[in-house]
Amino acid sequence: MRVILDTNVFVSGVFFSGPPYQILEAWRDGRFHLVISQDILDEYRRVGEILSSQFPAIDLWPIIELVTTEAEIYPSHTLPEAVCDDPDDDKFIVCAITAKCKMIVSGDKHLLKVSGLNGIDVIKPREFVDKYLP
């Protein structure tokens, strides 16, 4: 199974507990393949650095290094026109289309709203854990 994690799910999994943490643990255990684009990786780093300053005891870099070596990383592209109400979220849809990945895990209302577009399912972290990580 190939999955894209939006930035909030990824970063929450690094810094907090709950479903995002369970999802990252499952990825590290090889239970699914993480798919990202360079734009997504850049956002993981940027947002992670902001949280690192608030939680200095947590070292973000080992997980970022793991992502860069273990995730499927695709080139970043743009859509001819925005599909999400927040165009910054389009990077996840573009990555899914480019990588032919059918699942994005996100709690973002803008991404959830476009679930089904091009056959891409956008599901919340709790639903992903319950359905795919029993």
Judge whether 105 and 23 are in contact, CB under 8 Å.
yes
Query: For residue 71, is pLDDT > 90?
Result: yes
What is the model's pLDDT at position 32? 98
Selected residue with higher pLDDT from 124 and 82: 124
What is the model's pLDDT at position 8? 95
Query: For residue 80, is pLDDT > 90?
Result: no
pLDDT digits (tens, 9 = 90+) for 21-50: 999 999 999 999 999 999 999 999 999 999
Q: Which residues pair with 33 in a beta bridge?
A: 2
Confidence of residue 93 (pLDDT cuts 50, 70, 90): very high
Domain ranges, ordered by start, for the chain: 2-132
Element (DSSP H or E) covering residue 35: strand 33-37
Q: Alpha-carbon distance 64 to 62, whole Å?
A: 5
End-to-end CA distance of the chain: 15
pLDDT digits (tens, 9 = 90+) for 100-113: 999 999 999 999 99
What is the model's pLDDT at position 134? 83
Confidence of residue 20 (pLDDT cuts 50, 70, 90): very high
Domain 2-132: which CATH class? Answer: alpha beta
Q: Alpha-carbon distance 76 to 18, whole Å?
A: 30
